[in-house]
Amino acid sequence: MRIVPLIKTGVWLTAAGYVLAWTAATWFLDDGGIVRNSASCARLEEMPLFWSCEGFALSFFANLVTIALAVTYLAPLAIVAALDNPSLWSVALPVAVTNLAGIAALVYAILRLVGWAVRGIYSYARTGEARISD
């Protein structure tokens, strides 16, 4: 069994997960208040952007959005807080590693998609057939 296809699949999944995390966090900041106010959800007082809900489905979604917020928008705050308080490095380091891996995977995925598109356009211009192969 070759390891390269597994690594490529992991990179693509990391890029997709990173995009989904940013999408969930951005949605929550834009429209999350509507869901939070209409459902049986409560904002955690010690952390104003984090929330929890009753029921399995809403609770799972609230935890997912909380993690997405922590990994995306609140990442710089975690790193700055860790510079002031060294005991917070256990939180800041995974957040920083997640961002570095996610950004690298996203850049790789975008470059691959652009490469496939350019190769398809060039192939179509040369042969007249729309065919994209890896």
Domain range annotation of the chain: 4-127
The whole-angstrom separation of Cα 52 and Cα 58 is: 8
pLDDT in tens, the chain (134 residues): 688 888 889 999 999 999 988 888 888 777 766 666 665 666 555 555 666 677 667 777 778 888 888 888 888 888 888 999 989 898 889 988 988 899 999 999 999 999 888 888 877 777 777 665 55
pLDDT reported for residue 110: 92
pLDDT reported for residue 52: 67
Strands 41-43 and 51-53 come out as antiparallel
Q: Where are the alpha helices (DSSP H) in 1-134?
A: 4-38, 56-71, 75-84, 89-127
